[in-house]
Amino acid sequence: MTMPETIAIIYDFDGTLTKESSLNYTIFPYLKIKPDEFWELVNKEMQKDNADWILIFMRLVLEIAKNKKFKITQKILKKLVKNIIYVKGIPQYFERINTYINKNFKDINLRHYIISGNLAEIVKFSKVAKYMKNIFASSYYYKNGKPVFPLLAVNETLKTQFIFRISKGREKMYEPVNDFIEHSKRPVPFKNIIYIGDGLTDIPSMAVVKNNGGHSIAVYNDTDSKKVCDKLLKEGRVHFIAKADYSKGSKLEKLLKRIIALIIKNN
């Protein structure tokens, strides 16, 4: 008997599964800071120190909280996460697509993953977390229950490392990811990977997946993000674009089913 074939759908989080950046529903209102003001600050520091923007974002969250005397703990984050607004069809879509695969393709093992630059604490406490095989996101090192240093800062190019980890079955940070493993011997060959993201920070991931024989989709929530998607399609960074709508019968759901059927047919 052959091993069941694994197909992985990898999602970005903010703007892909959530309507706006999840920070807009959680940390920013809690710290009483406007998103525009915060990102302007990140930008300024980036220019001043020539630093990585995810590290600046993680540091500023802690600094602003400290200055304003707001505590950031896992418990508080867990509570804030309840305010997140998801895009249409989330989370019901996950149950539906899993049932669809189980019913129609018994030999296929469908996995869902999230790779996000945002805080792991937010993503892991969100209501989509339970559908995920694994979540890769930026996270803090906690000392006495307090975040004090970054453990992992997931910028746009580090995202691609996790795609290789998923493909090679080396999902723990201590597992060597650079060993050569033939595609046919990988738990999830690239041709079985579908990447869904909403924006510029997903470009390296979309390109890595597409250029290695996988499938990339850019999703949008409004006319501005549609423009970004149109550009990505025109530049050949993605195969498809669709509205971030995962509801029953949506264009995106149909597209995903079509890609899955194509992967199965070509294997």
Contacts with Mg ion by CB under 5 A lie at: 12, 14-15, 198
**Other CB atoms within 10 Å distance of the CB of residue 152:** 16
Nearer to Mg ion, 65 or 87 (CB): 87
Nearer to Mg ion, 190 or 220 (CB): 220
Nearer to Mg ion, 15 or 214 (CB): 15
Tokens of 104: 């129609």
**Minimum distance between the CB of residue 16 and Mg ion, rounded to whole angstroms?**
5
Q: Which residues, other chains included, contact 182 with Cβ-Cβ below 8 Å and sequence gap of 6+? A: none
**Minimum distance between the CB of residue 202 and Mg ion, rounded to whole angstroms?**
6
> In what helix (H) or strand (E) does residue 230 lie, and over which residues does it extend?
helix 223-234
**Minimum distance between the CB of residue 105 and Mg ion, rounded to whole angstroms?**
29
Q: How far is CA 223 from CA 12, 228, 243, in A?
A: 19, 9, 10
Please name which of 3, 233, 24 lies closest in space to residue 107, comparing C-alpha atoms.
Answer: 3
Distance CA 190, CA 167 (A): 6
**Minimum distance between the CB of residue 247 and Mg ion, rounded to whole angstroms?**
20
Whether the ω angle into residue 91 lies within 30 degrees of 0, i.e. cis, is: yes
**Minimum distance between the CB of residue 15 and Mg ion, rounded to whole angstroms?**
4
Residue nearest to Mg ion (CB): 15
Nearer to Mg ion, 65 or 209 (CB): 209
Nearer to Mg ion, 206 or 259 (CB): 206
